[in-house]
Amino acid sequence: MKLYNFSLAPNGLRVLAFLKEKKIKLDTHEVNVRDGEQFKEPFKSMNSFNCIPFLELDDGTIITESVSICRYLEEEYYPNPPLFGNSPKKRAQIDMWNRRLELDCLTPLGHALRNKISFFADRVLAGTRNNIKQSNDIVERGIEMSNLLFDRIEPHLEKNKFICGEEFSVADITGHSIFISFERLKFEVPSKFKNVIKWKSRLYEKDCFKNE
C-alpha cells in the first residue's frame, strides 16, 4: 500500500494529520502538484482526476478523496483511536458534521482560494488547467458562507469540546482545514464567534496539526 501525497497541500495535510493522530507510518511518495507532476505518468493514469491525495492498494486499486482514504485505513487496518466513530449513531453523527463542514464551508472556501490567489489563475478547479476566469464574487461568497456556518455552529460549540462532542474526530480535521483556508485567504474569524475561536485554539494545540 502506498500513499501519493503533497505535504504542503490542504487535502494532503488532512491525511497527514489523520496518520499522525493514529501514529501510522505509511510508505509515501510526494507528487509535486504545484509543478504539475500529477499530469505526468505514472500519476495521470493512476488518478484521472489529477489530484492528490490518493492511496494505491497492493492489488492496484486506487482510492482518492482524503476522507475516503482515511475511512478505508481506519476500517481495514487502524481502528484506534476511532476517528470515524465506533457505533452506528456516532458514525452517523461524525459523518453528518463532516459533510456540513465540507459542503457549507470548506468547499466554498477552497473555491474562494482558487479564485483569489493569482497562482491559481489557470486552475480554478483542482486537477485541471484551463482558461476559466477567476471571480471575486466567488471569493466573497466563500467568506459569506463561512460566516453563516460559524453562526450556526456557535451555539453547538458552547456545549461541545470538539465538533462532534468530547472526542476528537475526522470532522475536526475538516474544521482545522477551514481555519487554515482562512489563514491562506488572510481573513480572521470574526471575534463575535467566541466558541468557534475557542474550538480553533483547541485544534491548534493538538500535536497532529503541529509541524515536526
Applying CB under 6 A, among 10, 85, 142, 175 the residue interacting with ligand GSH is 10
Applying CB under 6 A, among 66, 146, 169, 174 the residue interacting with ligand GSH is 66
What's the min distance (Å) between Cβ of 36 and ligand GSH?
A: 7
Q: Which is nearer to ligand GSH, 109 or 157 (CB)?
A: 109
Q: Provide the terminal-to-terminal Cα distance of the chain, rounded to the nearest Å.
A: 24
E strands, the chain, in order? 2-5, 28-30, 54-56, 62-64
Site string for ligand GSH, 159-198 (x = CB under 6 A): ----------------------------------------
> What is the C-alpha to C-alpha distance for residues 9 and 117, in angstroms, rounded to an integer?
14
- Interface stretch with ligand GSH, choices 49-57, 137-145, 146-154, 157-165 (CB under 6 A): 49-57
Helix (H, G, I), strand (E, B) or coil at 55: strand
- Interface stretch with ligand GSH, choices 9-17, 71-79, 81-89, 167-175 (CB under 6 A): 9-17
With binding defined as CB under 6 A, does residue 153 bind ligand GSH? no
Helix (H, G, I), strand (E, B) or coil at 82: coil
19-52 b/e with 16+ CB inside 10 Å = b?
Answer: bbbbeeebebeebebeeebbeeeebeebbeebbb
Which amino acid makes up residue 199? W
With binding defined as CB under 6 A, does residue 82 bind ligand GSH? no
Report the site for ligand GSH in 17-46 (rule: CB under 6 A).
33, 38
Which grid cell sits at 94? 461524525
With binding defined as CB under 6 A, does residue 53 bind ligand GSH? yes
Q: Which is nearer to ligand GSH, 52 or 157 (CB)?
A: 52
- Interface stretch with ligand GSH, choices 5-13, 135-143, 146-154, 158-166 (CB under 6 A): 5-13
Applying CB under 6 A, among 3, 17, 51, 173 the residue interacting with ligand GSH is 51
Q: Phi and psi (nearest 5°) for 151? A: -60, -40
Q: Name 198's Cβ contacts closer than 8 Å, sequence gap at least 6.
A: 157
Burial of 12 (0-12, 13-18, 19+ CB in 10 A): buried
Contact footprint for ligand GSH (CB under 6 A): 9-11, 33, 38, 50-53, 65-66, 123, 126-127
